[in-house]
Amino acid sequence: MDLSARAKWRLTGMDRVRYLNGQVTNDVRLAKAESALYACVTNLKGKIEGDLCIHVLGDALILDAPEALRESLGVRLERYIIADDAVLEDITDEWRITHCTGPMAEAASNMAELPVGGRSVVNQRFGIAGCDFWYPATGSTPSFTESPLTPEEVETFRILQAIPVSPNELNSDTFPQEAGLEKKAMSYSKGCYIGQEILSRIKSSGKMPRELIAWESLGGGPIQAGDAISLAGKVIGTITSQTRHPVSGHQQGLGFVRQGSASQDSELLVGDAVSSIVTVVKIIAFLLQ
């Protein structure tokens, strides 16, 4: 998968780890050169302003995030560098990223030759074994035996793997726990960061407005992101992502429902309004990981 369009930054300076630890939900001290750490950036209300992967390169931290967040997340991270010895540089155009996943990941990570300046970083971006290859944009390109997935195929794979993404599921309306990111992207022992107090309160109470589900269509008309999810005549949620399974042909996707409003295998109505039902979907899973 060609992920070169992702936004990328280099964070340097003596305070880089301490500073970034005060901005993200995970413990930056656990970031390594050989494997990426996943984290969210939250606001004072604990809502998501962005998500990113972090790995170490020499005396720098390397960050990458969805392409759409290049400007907004860059500004957000710069805003809180005040008296810190930390410098954030946008390096988006300097590097390319190719991601291999599944059985291909291990074989690819053992490639004998990488382009000059290239490196491999273990990264389970899609919930299974995976490896990122970083290499300079101006140099040669590594050779792979398989053809890359198209952007449309990557999106289908992402949805079928039930991976939330910005801005569909991860945005300023969402707490990390609602999106099932508690185990993957959060540390409750690392100390304070922006939004930490509210997120710790959710951890203690177990209460949050919504929870992320994976669903499958049982038939009917097309489903679109933004369609309402209803149960017993009441709107309980919203579709956030949808695709068509390449084998079964069924529509599948992700969405949020009000916490406690439905259970696994519940059959829910989907449409642009309660009185305009498009189809019926079944909850495959709740994505509290």
Nearest to 61 by CA among 46, 77, 48: 77
Q: How many CB atoms lie within 10 A of CB 5?
A: 14
Confidence of residue 253 (pLDDT cuts 50, 70, 90): very high
189-233 pLDDT per residue, tens: 999 999 999 999 999 999 999 999 999 998 878 899 999 999 988
**Per-residue b/e over 254-267, b at no fewer than 16 CB within 10 Å?**
bbbbbbebbeeeee
H or E element, residue 20:
helix 16-21
Q: What percent of the chain shows pLDDT beyond 70?
A: 94
What is the distance, to the nearest Å, from the Cα of residue 203 to the centroid of all Cα atoms in its chain?
20
What per-residue confidence (pLDDT) applies to 116?
Answer: 79
Please provide the DSSP assignment of 150-211 as one string: PHHHHHHHHHHTT---TTTTSSTT--GGGGT-HHHH--SSS---TTHHHHHHHHHH---SEE
pLDDT of the residue at 179: 97
The pLDDT, as a whole number, for residue 274 is 55
Distance of CA 58 to the CA centre of its chain: 25
- Please give the model's pTM, rounded to 2 decimal places: 0.93
Cα Rg of the chain (Å, integer): 20
Phi and psi at 239, nearest 5°, equal -75, 135
pLDDT at residue 145 in the model: 74
pLDDT band at 276 (very low <50, low <70, confident <90, very high): low
pLDDT tens digits, residue range 8-24?
A: 999 999 999 999 999 99
Per-position DSSP letters for 219-254, written without gaps between them: EES---TT-EEEETTEEEEEEEEEEE-TTT--EEEE
pLDDT at residue 153 tops 80 = yes
> In order of start, what are the domains of the chain with their CATH numbers?
7-143 (3.30.1360.120), 210-286 (2.40.30.110)
Q: What pLDDT is stored for residue 107 in this prediction?
A: 59
Mean pLDDT in residue range 26-54? 97
